[in-house]
Amino acid sequence: TKAWLKVKCTHRQEFVIVGWLPSDKKRGFKSLLLGVREGKGYRYAGKVGTGFDQALMDEIRDKLDALDRKTPTVEAPKAAVRGAKWVTPKLVAEVAFAEVTPDGVLRHSSFIGLREDKAAKDVVAETPAPLPDVEEAAAPATSIKVSSRDRVIFDKSDVTKGDLADYYVAVSGIMLPVAGNRPISLVRCPQGRSRACFFQKHDAGSFGDAVHKVPIREKDGSTEDYLYVDDAHGLVACVQMGTIEFHGWGSSNATLEKPDRLIFDLDPDEGLDFGDTKKAAEHLKNQLAELGLVSFPMLSGGKGVHVVVPLTPEAEWPAVKDFADRFARAMAGADPERFVATMAKAKRKGRIFIDWLRNQRGATA
């Protein structure tokens, strides 16, 4: 599955070169035999046969010839060192490897380089040290009092107003970088989600000092104060006033006319399932990547997904909106059985609407 990224954990350590195996090809050697200091002698630690180019192999081979000895440097399984050429333990190599077997032999090793700064007698087996215990960071404390904490917010669950406030405090560290310090519209449901709800984006002076305002020029030339928050106190103050959802502009207060993110909202027809939306999001990710744009998915509730592209705030709203429009229409034109770029419900049957309209001044997500 592409939902998980597999990353190999690679170890690195120094080892003493105790011998080498001849190659049946025209190269300096097949592999180097490795060891570590143990007691008064050396213990066999395996071999390494990759990570060399021809010039490096020739250089190492010259050094090995100068250290040639007749007797084995370490005790090792005969099958592993059959035909070995032994050397006096002077050279130290840094080696990358995947793991060490129970009997102390390397697996999937690769040569990194020679270490001239370390003596062979100082090379011992290294063991990973446990990480120190780190206390989980506590959620930020807030002085905002939440009344009616036991009021149930959603009829089909037991989530209360107090639970919601505590949740926003807990996630504030990851939420504020994308929702803070930008104009927001609030979905307020003072009596719960099943009762009357409404949007609010202008400051009416009822939220207290924890919720701030930023003046924004309107289309008619007038100026209105919009709401924004910049810390957990502001989030809780909004919940105290019945807020359930936070919808932010695509630009920050610092660059209001230059968006810092591009959003494509994938809205599937009722007959499609979430799996279809996930595949569509991945397809958009790949198409955007071909244009040099990195994106990530964000769940938007129900079966929809937002494909979000972080932007350097340089282009202004008209240019960003125009690009989003043309990209969505190009996607729909290339795969008309799968995508549509117009809002008309009649045209969405069995398809996914690529909603690009969030990429205009004043739109929120």
Side-chain half-sphere exposure of 320, counting CA atoms within 13 A: 25
| Digit-coded pLDDT (tens) for 5-52 | 777 778 999 999 999 999 888 788 999 999 999 999 999 999 999 999
| Digit-coded pLDDT (tens) for 118-128 | 999 999 988 87
> pLDDT band at 156, cuts 50/70/90?
confident
The amino acid present at 172, given as its one-letter code, is S
Q: What is the DSSP letter of 344?
A: -
Q: Exposed, middle or buried by CB within 10 Å (0-12, 13-18, 19+), for 166? A: middle
Domains, the chain, with CATH or none:
11-122 (2.40.50.140), 161-248 (no CATH), 261-355 (3.30.70.3300)
In the numeric block, which tokens belong to residue 135?
């206390």
Model confidence at 137: pLDDT above 80: no
Give the integer Cα–Cα distance in Å for 310 and 12: 36
| Digit-coded pLDDT (tens) for 282-333 | 999 999 999 999 999 998 777 789 999 999 999 999 999 999 999 999 999 9
* Contact indicator for 320, 262 with CB cutoff of 8 Å: yes
> pLDDT band at 347, cuts 50/70/90?
confident
The neighbouring-strand residues paired with 93 are 15, 114
The neighbouring-strand residues paired with 297 are 307
Rg for the chain, CA atoms, rounded: 32
* Contact indicator for 89, 72 with CB cutoff of 8 Å: no
Give the integer Cα–Cα distance in Å for 103 and 349: 63
In the numeric block, which tokens belong to residue 80?
């592993």
* 3-state SS assignment for residue 348: coil
Q: What pLDDT, on the 0 to 100 scale, is given for residue 136?
A: 65
Model confidence at 1: pLDDT above 60: no
Q: Which residue has the higher pLDDT, 135 or 299?
A: 299
The amino acid present at 223, given as its one-letter code, is T
Count Cβ neighbours within 10 Å for each residue of 86-118 and write b for 16 or more, e otherwise.
bbebebbbebbbeebeeeebbeebbbeebbeee
- Per-position DSSP letters for 32-73, written without gaps between them: EEEEEEETTEEEEEEEE--S--HHHHHHHHHHHHHTEESS-S
